[in-house]
Structure 1
Amino acid sequence: MTIAVPSDVRVWLAGGVTDMRRGMNGLTLQIQQGLGRDPHAGDLFVFRGRRGNLLKILWHDGVGLSLYAKRLEQGRFIWPSPADGAVAISAAQLGYLLDGIDWRNPRHTWRPSRAG
Protein backbone atom coordinates (compact mmCIF):
# COMPACT_ATOMS: atom_id res chain seq x y z
CA MET A 1 0.00 0.00 0.00
CA THR A 2 1.21 3.49 -0.80
CA ILE A 3 0.36 6.61 1.15
CA ALA A 4 -1.23 9.18 -1.18
CA VAL A 5 0.80 12.21 -0.16
CA PRO A 6 0.22 15.48 -2.04
CA SER A 7 3.41 16.62 -3.80
CA ASP A 8 3.39 19.99 -2.00
CA VAL A 9 3.47 18.48 1.51
CA ARG A 10 6.62 19.22 3.50
CA VAL A 11 8.30 16.06 4.78
CA TRP A 12 10.58 16.19 7.81
CA LEU A 13 12.97 13.43 8.87
CA ALA A 14 13.67 13.57 12.60
CA GLY A 15 17.45 13.11 12.75
CA GLY A 16 18.78 10.51 15.15
CA VAL A 17 16.96 7.62 16.79
CA THR A 18 13.40 7.60 18.09
CA ASP A 19 11.93 5.21 20.65
CA MET A 20 9.56 3.17 18.49
CA ARG A 21 7.40 2.34 21.50
CA ARG A 22 6.05 5.88 21.22
CA GLY A 23 2.59 6.24 19.81
CA MET A 24 0.71 9.16 18.36
CA ASN A 25 0.76 11.29 21.52
CA GLY A 26 4.45 10.70 22.29
CA LEU A 27 5.51 11.50 18.72
CA THR A 28 3.32 14.62 18.69
CA LEU A 29 5.11 15.81 21.82
CA GLN A 30 8.48 15.08 20.21
CA ILE A 31 7.48 17.18 17.19
CA GLN A 32 6.42 20.09 19.38
CA GLN A 33 9.22 20.02 21.94
CA GLY A 34 12.13 18.36 20.15
CA LEU A 35 11.66 19.72 16.63
CA GLY A 36 9.87 22.96 17.55
CA ARG A 37 7.20 22.41 14.88
CA ASP A 38 3.41 22.22 14.79
CA PRO A 39 2.26 18.60 14.28
CA HIS A 40 -1.15 19.82 13.05
CA ALA A 41 0.18 22.08 10.27
CA GLY A 42 -0.16 19.43 7.56
CA ASP A 43 3.52 18.50 7.41
CA LEU A 44 4.57 14.87 7.42
CA PHE A 45 7.04 13.78 10.14
CA VAL A 46 9.14 10.63 9.78
CA PHE A 47 10.94 8.86 12.66
CA ARG A 48 13.38 5.93 12.57
CA GLY A 49 14.06 3.33 15.25
CA ARG A 50 17.43 2.22 16.64
CA ARG A 51 17.84 -0.82 14.38
CA GLY A 52 17.17 1.30 11.31
CA ASN A 53 14.62 -1.00 9.73
CA LEU A 54 11.45 0.57 11.20
CA LEU A 55 9.87 3.94 10.39
CA LYS A 56 6.88 5.72 11.85
CA ILE A 57 5.18 8.57 10.01
CA LEU A 58 2.87 11.09 11.65
CA TRP A 59 0.65 13.24 9.43
CA HIS A 60 -2.27 15.57 10.01
CA ASP A 61 -4.22 15.71 6.75
CA GLY A 62 -6.59 18.49 7.80
CA VAL A 63 -9.20 16.06 9.10
CA GLY A 64 -7.28 14.03 11.65
CA LEU A 65 -3.93 12.68 12.72
CA SER A 66 -2.64 9.46 11.12
CA LEU A 67 0.19 7.21 12.23
CA TYR A 68 1.83 4.91 9.71
CA ALA A 69 4.58 2.35 10.24
CA LYS A 70 6.85 0.52 7.81
CA ARG A 71 9.44 -2.16 8.49
CA LEU A 72 12.00 -3.33 5.96
CA GLU A 73 12.48 -7.09 5.87
CA GLN A 74 16.11 -6.60 4.78
CA GLY A 75 18.43 -3.60 5.00
CA ARG A 76 18.11 -0.28 6.75
CA PHE A 77 16.59 3.09 5.96
CA ILE A 78 19.16 5.76 5.02
CA TRP A 79 18.98 8.41 7.75
CA PRO A 80 20.53 11.79 8.60
CA SER A 81 22.78 12.06 11.65
CA PRO A 82 21.47 13.53 14.93
CA ALA A 83 23.63 16.62 14.33
CA ASP A 84 21.55 17.39 11.22
CA GLY A 85 18.39 17.81 13.31
CA ALA A 86 15.19 17.68 11.26
CA VAL A 87 15.92 17.36 7.56
CA ALA A 88 13.35 18.44 4.95
CA ILE A 89 12.90 16.17 1.93
CA SER A 90 10.44 16.13 -0.97
CA ALA A 91 7.47 13.80 -1.32
CA ALA A 92 9.35 12.08 -4.17
CA GLN A 93 12.36 11.48 -1.91
CA LEU A 94 9.99 10.03 0.70
CA GLY A 95 8.83 7.53 -1.92
CA TYR A 96 12.43 6.42 -2.45
CA LEU A 97 13.00 6.22 1.29
CA LEU A 98 9.93 4.03 1.82
CA ASP A 99 11.17 1.68 -0.90
CA GLY A 100 14.54 1.32 0.86
CA ILE A 101 16.37 3.39 -1.78
CA ASP A 102 18.98 6.00 -0.86
CA TRP A 103 16.87 9.18 -1.14
CA ARG A 104 19.98 11.40 -1.17
CA ASN A 105 21.21 10.07 -4.52
CA PRO A 106 18.66 7.83 -6.26
CA ARG A 107 19.99 6.12 -9.37
CA HIS A 108 18.54 3.72 -11.87
CA THR A 109 20.05 0.29 -11.50
CA TRP A 110 19.67 -0.54 -15.18
CA ARG A 111 19.56 1.53 -18.35
CA PRO A 112 19.14 0.20 -21.86
CA SER A 113 22.34 0.36 -23.87
CA ARG A 114 20.52 0.92 -27.17
CA ALA A 115 17.08 1.48 -28.57
CA GLY A 116 15.38 -1.23 -30.55
Structure 2
Amino acid sequence: MLINFYDPKHVYIVCGKTDLRKGIDTLAIMIADNFGMDIYDDSLFLFCGNRNDRFKGLYWDGEGFILLYKRFDNGKLTWPRNSNEVKALNHQQIEWLLKGLNPLPKPKVHQASKGAFF
Protein backbone atom coordinates (compact mmCIF):
# COMPACT_ATOMS: atom_id res chain seq x y z
CA MET A 1 0.00 0.00 0.00
CA LEU A 2 1.35 3.41 -0.97
CA ILE A 3 0.05 5.07 2.17
CA ASN A 4 -1.16 3.51 5.37
CA PHE A 5 -4.49 5.14 6.29
CA TYR A 6 -3.42 5.04 9.94
CA ASP A 7 -0.06 6.85 9.54
CA PRO A 8 -1.18 10.48 9.04
CA LYS A 9 -1.66 12.52 12.18
CA HIS A 10 -5.14 13.53 10.97
CA VAL A 11 -7.63 11.80 8.67
CA TYR A 12 -10.61 13.85 7.55
CA ILE A 13 -13.67 12.83 5.61
CA VAL A 14 -15.20 15.50 3.37
CA CYS A 15 -18.94 14.95 3.67
CA GLY A 16 -21.34 15.23 0.80
CA LYS A 17 -20.62 14.54 -2.85
CA THR A 18 -17.39 15.71 -4.45
CA ASP A 19 -16.80 15.66 -8.18
CA LEU A 20 -14.12 12.97 -8.40
CA ARG A 21 -12.93 14.39 -11.72
CA LYS A 22 -11.23 17.11 -9.67
CA GLY A 23 -7.49 16.82 -9.38
CA ILE A 24 -4.88 17.68 -6.76
CA ASP A 25 -4.95 21.46 -7.17
CA THR A 26 -8.73 21.81 -7.08
CA LEU A 27 -9.14 19.48 -4.09
CA ALA A 28 -6.35 21.28 -2.19
CA ILE A 29 -7.91 24.69 -2.89
CA MET A 30 -11.31 23.37 -1.81
CA ILE A 31 -9.92 22.24 1.56
CA ALA A 32 -7.90 25.40 2.17
CA ASP A 33 -10.46 27.96 0.98
CA ASN A 34 -13.79 26.39 1.97
CA PHE A 35 -12.79 24.85 5.27
CA GLY A 36 -9.75 26.95 6.26
CA MET A 37 -7.71 23.84 6.98
CA ASP A 38 -3.95 23.35 6.63
CA ILE A 39 -3.40 20.83 3.84
CA TYR A 40 0.29 20.47 4.80
CA ASP A 41 -0.32 19.35 8.41
CA ASP A 42 0.22 15.59 7.97
CA SER A 43 -3.45 15.22 7.05
CA LEU A 44 -5.22 12.82 4.72
CA PHE A 45 -8.47 14.14 3.20
CA LEU A 46 -11.00 11.64 1.83
CA PHE A 47 -13.61 12.50 -0.82
CA CYS A 48 -16.52 10.53 -2.29
CA GLY A 49 -18.58 11.19 -5.40
CA ASN A 50 -21.99 9.95 -6.48
CA ARG A 51 -21.03 6.30 -6.35
CA ASN A 52 -20.31 4.77 -2.95
CA ASP A 53 -17.90 2.15 -4.22
CA ARG A 54 -14.96 4.55 -4.70
CA PHE A 55 -13.23 7.46 -3.06
CA LYS A 56 -10.22 9.75 -3.48
CA GLY A 57 -7.66 10.76 -0.92
CA LEU A 58 -5.34 13.77 -0.89
CA TYR A 59 -2.17 13.66 1.19
CA TRP A 60 0.92 15.87 1.44
CA ASP A 61 3.95 13.63 2.10
CA GLY A 62 6.40 16.46 2.78
CA GLU A 63 7.67 16.62 -0.79
CA GLY A 64 4.47 16.72 -2.83
CA PHE A 65 0.87 15.68 -2.95
CA ILE A 66 -0.26 12.10 -3.34
CA LEU A 67 -3.67 11.57 -4.91
CA LEU A 68 -5.18 8.22 -3.99
CA TYR A 69 -8.08 6.58 -5.77
CA LYS A 70 -9.66 3.46 -4.36
CA ARG A 71 -12.51 1.46 -5.83
CA PHE A 72 -14.06 -1.48 -4.05
CA ASP A 73 -14.76 -4.52 -6.23
CA ASN A 74 -17.22 -5.94 -3.75
CA GLY A 75 -18.99 -3.60 -1.37
CA LYS A 76 -19.82 0.02 -0.80
CA LEU A 77 -18.88 2.80 1.58
CA THR A 78 -21.31 4.39 3.98
CA TRP A 79 -20.53 8.04 3.27
CA PRO A 80 -22.20 10.94 5.10
CA ARG A 81 -24.07 13.04 2.54
CA ASN A 82 -24.66 16.21 4.58
CA SER A 83 -22.53 18.64 2.59
CA ASN A 84 -20.19 21.45 3.61
CA GLU A 85 -18.57 19.60 6.51
CA VAL A 86 -15.22 17.98 7.12
CA LYS A 87 -15.08 15.49 9.98
CA ALA A 88 -12.04 14.07 11.73
CA LEU A 89 -11.80 10.28 11.90
CA ASN A 90 -10.02 8.18 14.49
CA HIS A 91 -8.43 4.80 13.72
CA GLN A 92 -11.59 2.85 14.55
CA GLN A 93 -13.71 5.08 12.33
CA ILE A 94 -11.27 4.61 9.43
CA GLU A 95 -11.57 0.86 9.88
CA TRP A 96 -15.36 1.09 9.86
CA LEU A 97 -15.37 3.29 6.76
CA LEU A 98 -13.14 0.89 4.83
CA LYS A 99 -15.44 -2.00 5.80
CA GLY A 100 -18.52 -0.12 4.55
CA LEU A 101 -19.86 0.70 8.01
CA ASN A 102 -21.02 4.13 9.16
CA PRO A 103 -17.91 5.70 10.71
CA LEU A 104 -19.43 8.89 12.04
CA PRO A 105 -21.32 8.75 15.30
CA LYS A 106 -19.99 12.11 16.63
CA PRO A 107 -16.58 13.22 15.34
CA LYS A 108 -15.26 16.81 15.32
CA VAL A 109 -16.90 18.97 12.63
CA HIS A 110 -15.40 21.84 10.60
CA GLN A 111 -18.04 23.98 8.88
CA ALA A 112 -17.54 25.36 5.37
CA SER A 113 -17.52 29.08 4.71
CA LYS A 114 -20.86 30.53 3.65
CA GLY A 115 -21.42 30.56 -0.07
CA ALA A 116 -19.06 27.65 -0.78
CA PHE A 117 -20.42 25.06 -3.15
CA PHE A 118 -18.55 21.95 -4.30
Counterparts in 2 of 1:16 and 1:96: CA distance versus 1, 3 Å: same
- Greater strand percent: which structure? 2
Quick one: percent identity of the two aligned structures?
Answer: 31
More displaced 10-residue stretch of structure 1: 79-88 or 66-75:
79-88
Deviation at 1:67, TM superposition (A): 0.6
Return the TM-score normalized by structure 1: 0.75
- Describe the superposition over 1:78-101 as per-residue Cα deviations: whole angstroms up to 9, x where unpaired: 112325711110134324323434
User: Would the aligned equivalents of 2:75 and 2:100 in 1 still touch at CA under 8 Å?
Assistant: yes
* Gaps in structure 1 of 5+ consecutive residues: 106-116
Over 6 Å off, 4+ runs: none
Structure 1 stretch displaced more, 13-22 or 88-97? 88-97
- Give, in whole Å, the separation in 2 of the partners of 1:75 and 1:101: 10
Instruction: Pick which of 11-20 and 24-33 moved more.
Output: 24-33
| TM-score, scaled to structure 2 | 0.74
How many residue pairs match? The answer is 105
What CA distance in whole angstroms lies between the structure 1 residues aligned with 2:89 and 2:54? Answer: 18
1:57–1:68 Cα contact (<8 Å) kept: yes
Distance 1:92 1:66, change over 3 A: farther
Compute the RMSD of aligned alpha carbons. 2.3
